[in-house]
Chains A and B, each alone.
Chain A
Amino acid sequence: MKALEGIRICDFTGQLAGAGATKWLAAFGADVVRIEDPVNQGAWDILRSMPPFVDERRGFDFGGGFNNHNVEKRGITLNLRTARGKEILAELVKRSDAVTENFAAGVLEKWGFGYDQLRSLRSDIVYVSNCGFGHEGPYASFKTWGPIVQAASGLTYTSGLPDMEPAGWGYSYMDHTGGYYMAMAILLALIHRQRTGEGQWVDMACCETGLTLNGPAILDYTVNGRPLRRSGQPDGNRSEWPRMVPHGIFPAAGDDEWIAIACRDDADWARCAAVFAEPWAQEAGWSTLTTRHRDQDAIEAQVTAWSRGRDKFAMQRMFQDAGVPAAAVQKPAERVDHDPATEDLWPTAHHTKMGDVRVDGMPVRFSETNWEIRRGAPCLGEHTEEVLGEWLDMDPSEVEALREEGVV
């Protein structure tokens, strides 16, 4: 039994911000059907043909990121420039629980499938759109990518060293996170529909989602009038709320090797001092948070000198054994291939052309209706005949005729 068996999603999402959301639903058994454009060969989702690649083959069925984000979905092509293509989409919408997309605002409407049209096809349809600035408001026409969403929402600024340019996020954190909130929005709207019979539109603006992820900093501003743009901010890997010292990422032996240490309180400091086992760590003056906070620079310099020549995993063990939270900064190979805590996280999905490829799994375990990832992402139009047959009762010869007309 799958958790979301029987839920049908008419899916126009792409990249990660949208595709990540419907990947979750598909892994729990929803029937997610990607609808792509046969004319431009699904090129709207640029990941279709982008690296990484499993071998020397290239093209729209070989993008490694696309495969990662679209496992367990099926894919059809539909030419929405044609009247027949529009008719078929209308029939698919009538049989869908939800329509999902993350185009720029207005794109689906231009094709004749805005929310009003969707609702006229199925009165209780759930429609979830996800774009950077949302479909309404002064910036509704603005375009974004993950890094721009992070910039405009405050997340880039809050990652960096004091008085330097922002370090930001070295990846599209808000594509992941926008996808998470989009998945929540779809589920919430489906729960709402299940209880009331009402469908609705959810207009997600990814920047707003990001803005909510720095709540205490915003309250410090609205309540205390203290902005985060001020000298000494952002404070790198230090922790002010809750206040912890030392708290940072320190160098370890080797090339670009690091360890994160979080000394939560005075008791942790006593444990740390035993690990450091050096005279400076025994000084009574640093046994209280007040003095450690005052002397933060000096303490970090001592920890750095101590950690620099030591193996990061050996230090992780020393601190963990002593009862202090610490973690080596793991490189991809270390956390994917050599970490016992991620052994069940990377399922192998079978892609029709690429073959068996490991992908990101789900970091959760359900006791009754767990996720399952076996099928790789759909090749372009791979399931056109199958889906039109199942959803619309078309026979193969009808689909063949549509193919000749350039509709699919």
Chain B
Amino acid sequence: MSALEGVRVIELAHERGALAGKLMADMGADVVLVEPTAGAPQRTHGPFVDDVADPERSLSFWHYQTSKRGVALDWRTSAGREALHALLKRADIFLECEDPGVLAAAGFDDNALTGTNERLIHVSMTPFGPDGPRKDELATDLTLLAGGGPAWSCGYDDHALPPIAGGGQQGYAIGCHYAVMSALTALLHCELGGRGQRIDVSMHQAANVTTEMASYHWLVQQGTVQRQTGRHALEGPSMASQMECADGRHVNTGVPPRTPPEFGNLVRWLEELGLKDDLPEAVFLEMGAARDSINLSDIGVDDEVTAIFGAGREALTFIASRLSAQDFFLGAQRAGLPVGAIYAPEEAFEDPHFVARGMQVPVEHPRLGRTVLYPGAPYAFERSQWAISRPAPQLGEHTDEVLEAVGIDAAARAQLRGEGTLK
């Protein structure tokens, strides 16, 4: 049984909301993706299978549209509008990312929607919300991350280099996460006896509250954080936390050793590696391990504490110069020190821990005669099934079965096809 079995979602195809539909579809909702008859623009986004550009070979489309059924329908025409109304009449959730005013102009204003179905949860994702002076501004993933705050905190110590917007369309992802949290909250409310409602998600606002300290240092003490290479942006400079290892790859050493047991662990790790005698600072590590406690605020004030902290960094840098990033990561963690190897996505995907937990999920693509490995579930449910129940739909693959089920029969569909409204 899946948590969202039987929940009907109508999603108007748009790249900025595709992940929200996928998250619900992989949890068992019946998500119907409504694309224009020319195909969703996302079908033109690479990478492509074997690098052959083709609407059915876009791996961006494949990833974000799993477990959905697909209908090709131009809902902006009057005949298409009626068909979409028919779909919405039986839907639980309507997910769309149209610009403000577009739906209302096409006959889908709030009254029309509630009149159609009073249980309907209408989730509207827009860059800046449905009203206000910025509502019509254009946005992409990059501009959302730039204007909404994340980019300000990300980049390098050298501020002659630009802020960096992280990869993987995280600006869209942030909005989608809030869209799904909203849809599920409203759905649970319905399960508890409530009615449907309209929900507006502002993607710009979503980015604004996904900046951790940058926002609340300003809100609380009017402090402005400054970006620093590979670590938290803070009001003042902090110590580097990324280290290059012997194989040229990097690790993140997170919060440096700061408690007596952690210094003890570090000494033992040096001993195991046979490196303790090569590091003169090891004596400070032993002093740290022998103390009852270490007061963080004594750094820079108390000479001994300052030396102990410095030696912690020295020791990690020294070990990193002798080990590969992978060996450093595993060795440090086994010594009780929280460290992470900086993996490229494919390296994370191949890591034995994630493989053992089932993160490589095979999906059959019968049309190409291939089985493709996809990234698995973002959470491990004991009972609710997470599954990629089908690969991304081909254009119009389920048009007939979906419309038939809402009472648009073969003759009506033939007429719509003749008009070019359906594919």
- A359-B345 contact given A237-B165, A335-B208, CB 8 Å threshold: no
* Pair B146/A330 contact, Cβ less than 8 Å: yes
The proximity string for A residues 135-163 relative to B, scoring 1 for CB distances below 8 Å and 0 otherwise, is: 01111011111011111111111111100
Contacts of B144 in A (CB 8 A): 327
* Pair B181/A24 contact, Cβ less than 8 Å: yes
Contacts of A108 in B (CB 8 A): none
* Pair B151/A185 contact, Cβ less than 8 Å: no
Confirm or deny: B242 has a beta carbon within 8 angstroms of a beta carbon on chain A.
yes
Contacts of B45 in A (CB 8 A): 216, 241-242
C-alpha gap A359/B213 in the complex (Å): 11
Confirm or deny: A194 has a beta carbon within 8 angstroms of a beta carbon on chain B.
yes
Contacts of A340 in B (CB 8 A): 132-134
* Pair B133/A229 contact, Cβ less than 8 Å: no
Q: Which of B220, B375, B383 contacts A200 (CB 8 A)?
A: B383
Which positions 132-177 of chain B face chain A at CB distance < 8 Å?
132-134, 137-156, 159, 161-168, 170, 173-174, 177
Report the minimal beta-carbon distance from A343 to chain B, rounded to whole angstroms: 8
* Pair A168/B201 contact, Cβ less than 8 Å: no
* Pair A328/B346 contact, Cβ less than 8 Å: no
* Pair A134/B164 contact, Cβ less than 8 Å: no
* Pair A148/B201 contact, Cβ less than 8 Å: no
Contacts of B383 in A (CB 8 A): 192, 198, 200
Q: Which of B154, B346, B356 contacts A170 (CB 8 A)?
A: B154
Which positions 251-298 of chain B face chain A at CB distance < 8 Å?
251-252, 254-255
Report the minimal beta-carbon distance from B273 to chain A, rounded to whole angstroms: 19
Interface centre among B44, B138, B195, B250 (most CB of A within 10 A): B138
Confirm or deny: A191 has a beta carbon within 8 angstroms of a beta carbon on chain B.
yes
Q: Which of B145, B252, B329 contacts A147 (CB 8 A)?
A: B252
Which positions 161-217 of chain A face chain B at CB distance < 8 Å?
161, 164-173, 175-177, 180-185, 187-192, 194-196, 198, 200-205, 207-217
Q: Which of A1, A68, A148, A260 contacts B254 (CB 8 A)?
A: A148
Report the minimal beta-carbon distance from A189 to chain B, rounded to whole angstroms: 7
Confirm or deny: A360 has a beta carbon within 8 angstroms of a beta carbon on chain B.
yes
- A327-B147 contact given A64-B220, A158-B167, A172-B212, CB 8 Å threshold: yes
Confirm or deny: A84 has a beta carbon within 8 angstroms of a beta carbon on chain B.
no
Contacts of B219 in A (CB 8 A): 64, 68, 336, 346, 357-360
* Pair A332/B202 contact, Cβ less than 8 Å: no
- A185-B381 contact given A152-B341, A219-B62, CB 8 Å threshold: yes
- A260-B165 contact given A229-B346, A363-B205, CB 8 Å threshold: yes
Contacts of B159 in A (CB 8 A): 256
Report the minimal beta-carbon distance from A34 to chain B, rounded to whole angstroms: 19
Main secondary structure of the interface of B (DSSP, over half): mixed
C-alpha gap A136/B144 in the complex (Å): 36
Confirm or deny: B389 has a beta carbon within 8 angstroms of a beta carbon on chain A.
no
* Pair B217/A332 contact, Cβ less than 8 Å: yes
Contacts of A337 in B (CB 8 A): 218
* Pair B143/A184 contact, Cβ less than 8 Å: no
Confirm or deny: A305 has a beta carbon within 8 angstroms of a beta carbon on chain B.
no
Confirm or deny: A33 has a beta carbon within 8 angstroms of a beta carbon on chain B.
no
* Pair B181/A357 contact, Cβ less than 8 Å: no
Contacts of A145 in B (CB 8 A): 254-255, 338
* Pair B151/A239 contact, Cβ less than 8 Å: no
Contacts of B213 in A (CB 8 A): 52, 65, 171
Report the minimal beta-carbon distance from A120 to chain B, rounded to whole angstroms: 15
Confirm or deny: A222 has a beta carbon within 8 angstroms of a beta carbon on chain B.
yes
Which positions 333-364 of chain A face chain B at CB distance < 8 Å?
333, 335-337, 339-343, 345-346, 357-364
Confirm or deny: A228 has a beta carbon within 8 angstroms of a beta carbon on chain B.
yes
Interface centre among B143, B204, B351 (most CB of A within 10 A): B143
Q: Which of A53, A168, A326, A363 contacts B154 (CB 8 A)?
A: A168
Contacts of B142 in A (CB 8 A): 237, 239, 247-249, 260, 262, 325
Report the stretch among A365-373, A381-389, A396-404 that lies at the interface: A365-373
Report the minimal beta-carbon distance from B198 to chain A, rounded to whole angstroms: 4
* Pair A192/B1 contact, Cβ less than 8 Å: yes
C-alpha gap A215/B60 in the complex (Å): 8
C-alpha gap A173/B154 in the complex (Å): 11
Confirm or deny: A258 has a beta carbon within 8 angstroms of a beta carbon on chain B.
yes
* Pair A134/B357 contact, Cβ less than 8 Å: yes
* Pair B51/A159 contact, Cβ less than 8 Å: no
C-alpha gap A150/B212 in the complex (Å): 14
Report the minimal beta-carbon distance from B235 to chain A, rounded to whole angstroms: 8
The proximity string for A residues 234-261 relative to B, scoring 1 for CB distances below 8 Å and 0 otherwise, is: 1011011111100111110000101111
Contacts of A57 in B (CB 8 A): none
Confirm or deny: B37 has a beta carbon within 8 angstroms of a beta carbon on chain A.
no
* Pair B185/A249 contact, Cβ less than 8 Å: no
Q: Which of B200, B221, B255, B346 contacts A217 (CB 8 A)?
A: B346
C-alpha gap A344/B58 in the complex (Å): 39
Q: Which of A139, A142, A157, A357 contacts B343 (CB 8 A)?
A: A157
* Pair A360/B49 contact, Cβ less than 8 Å: no
* Pair A168/B230 contact, Cβ less than 8 Å: yes
* Pair B359/A170 contact, Cβ less than 8 Å: no
The proximity string for B residues 15-46 relative to A, scoring 1 for CB distances below 8 Å and 0 otherwise, is: 10000000100010000000000000110111
* Pair B340/A148 contact, Cβ less than 8 Å: yes
Report the minimal beta-carbon distance from B290 to chain A, rounded to whole angstroms: 23
Contacts of B189 in A (CB 8 A): 3-4, 369
Report the minimal beta-carbon distance from A293 to chain B, rounded to whole angstroms: 12
Report the minimal beta-carbon distance from A338 to chain B, rounded to whole angstroms: 11
Confirm or deny: A113 has a beta carbon within 8 angstroms of a beta carbon on chain B.
no
Confirm or deny: A329 has a beta carbon within 8 angstroms of a beta carbon on chain B.
yes
Confirm or deny: B394 has a beta carbon within 8 angstroms of a beta carbon on chain A.
no
Confirm or deny: A294 has a beta carbon within 8 angstroms of a beta carbon on chain B.
no
Q: Which of B3, B155, B202 contacts A188 (CB 8 A)?
A: B3
* Pair A341/B374 contact, Cβ less than 8 Å: no
- A169-B138 contact given A54-B220, A195-B191, A218-B375, CB 8 Å threshold: no
Contacts of A366 in B (CB 8 A): 182, 185-186, 197-199
The proximity string for B residues 366-380 relative to A, scoring 1 for CB distances below 8 Å and 0 otherwise, is: 000010111111111
* Pair B375/A332 contact, Cβ less than 8 Å: no
Confirm or deny: B403 has a beta carbon within 8 angstroms of a beta carbon on chain A.
no
User: B64 — nearest CB in chain A belongs to which residue?
Assistant: A215
8 closest Cβ pairs, A-B complex: A363-B205, A327-B147, A260-B146, A151-B340, A158-B167, A170-B153, A148-B340, A215-B63
Question: Could you list 19 A-B pairs, sorted by A, with CB under 8 Å?
Answer: A52-B223, A154-B344, A154-B348, A157-B344, A167-B164, A171-B214, A176-B174, A182-B379, A188-B381, A189-B381, A191-B187, A192-B3, A202-B380, A211-B345, A215-B375, A217-B346, A227-B344, A228-B346, A327-B147
